[in-house]
Amino acid sequence: MDRELLIALLAGFVQGIFEWLPISSEGNLALALSAVGSDPTQAVQFALFLHVGTAVSATVYYRDELAVTLSELPSWRPSSAFSETATLSFLAIATLASGIVGISTYLLLKDAITALTGGAFVALVGVLLIATGILQRAAGGFTLDTRDSPDLVDAVLVGGLQGLAILPGVSRSGVTASALLFRGHDGPDSFRLSFLLSIPAALGGGLLAALDGGLAGVTATEAAVALGTAAVVGYLSIDALMRVVRRVSFWAVCVGLGALALVGGLVVTL
């Protein structure tokens, strides 16, 4: 197996595992790709593209719940949006908010990352990982009230934060689940809504990256291997890793990884 194909295989494996952990799969994968010689901008775009693979995993894993949610479409009415069809309304409005914030952030992000050197890029990812970890830690000990279903504020807040997670180092699942915990949702419900919301966002982000040159320097075979690996590994690991997430303090892991990236990036830069 040649070097490029092996990198594609490993990239898909990393995405398939890290997507379900609140430690930023995009940030860590972009760091790994940069470490093997990828340009920072191309590393971020390819990491975004691979989210399509884990979006397929999540779609298959949540297929029954998605079918029930989509079956509510004919009965959806504005007057009962967050009562009888709360999950459907949450996903629709949060996805719209994610798209607006995510596309705007991506357009700004591309130019900013292009201007960064390798060490500065690594340090930036480190800072964002640390910030994500601190947010998760805070969310674990503070809530506003107790909620049984999402409302409009949840949808706009969580959708906007998910859009910001296009930044490498900001964990999508970490910030969205933390926001839901802050808003009073319990752990299992927070992660369920977070991963359901990840499906349209991941597909949209991957498509955006692909259309904007995310496969530059990557052959069709390498892209297929990376996507296929991400989808298969993601599906096989999602159930076990979601159980692990409920037991392990990943905020500390996120801060630790961020600190290592920050120190490493500063050493390279200086």
The predicted-structure confidence for 55-76, as pLDDT tens digits, reads as follows: 999 999 999 999 999 998 888 8
Spacing of C-alpha 190 from chain mean position:
14
If one counts the domains in the chain, the total is 1
Q: Specify the pLDDT at position 2.
A: 85
Q: What is the pLDDT of residue 236?
A: 93
Q: Name residue, tokens 């830690």.
A: 137
Angle, in degrees to the nearest 10, between helices 25-35 and 40-49: 130
The mean of the pLDDT values for the chain is: 84
Average pLDDT rounded to a whole number, residues 10-24? 87
Predicted confidence at residue 64, as pLDDT, reads 93
Q: Does the pLDDT at position 12 exceed 90?
A: yes
Region 138-151: what's the mean pLDDT? 75
- 8 Å CB contact between 204 and 97: no
Q: How far apart are CA 38 and CA 41, in angstroms?
A: 8
What is the rounded distance in angstroms from the CA atom of residue 13 to the CA atom of residue 223?
13
Two structure tokens written together for 20: 């379900």
Of the candidates 105, 111, 76, which has an alpha carbon nearest to the alpha carbon of residue 91?
Answer: 76
Length of the chain in terms of residues written: 270
Most confident of 57-66, 78-87, 246-255: 57-66
Residue 26 confidence (pLDDT) = 82
The CB-side HSE value for 81 (13 A sphere, CA atoms) comes to: 11
Determine contact, residues 226/214, Cβ cutoff 8 Å: no
- First-last CA distance in the chain: 36
Which range among 58-72, 116-130, 196-210, 237-251 has the greatest average pLDDT?
58-72
Query: For 217-246, what is each residue's pLDDT tens digit?
Result: 788 899 899 999 999 999 999 888 777 766
Closest CA to 54 of 109, 27, 15, 102: 15
What is the token pair recorded at 25? 């799969």
Domain range holding 191? Answer: 3-269
* Separation in Å, CA 16 to CA 47, 50, 188: 11, 9, 20
101 confidence band (pLDDT: 50, 70, 90): very high
* Residue 250 pLDDT exceeds 70: no
Amino acid at 155: A
| Structure confidence at residue 124 (pLDDT) | 78
Beta carbons within 10 angstroms of residue 54's beta carbon: 31
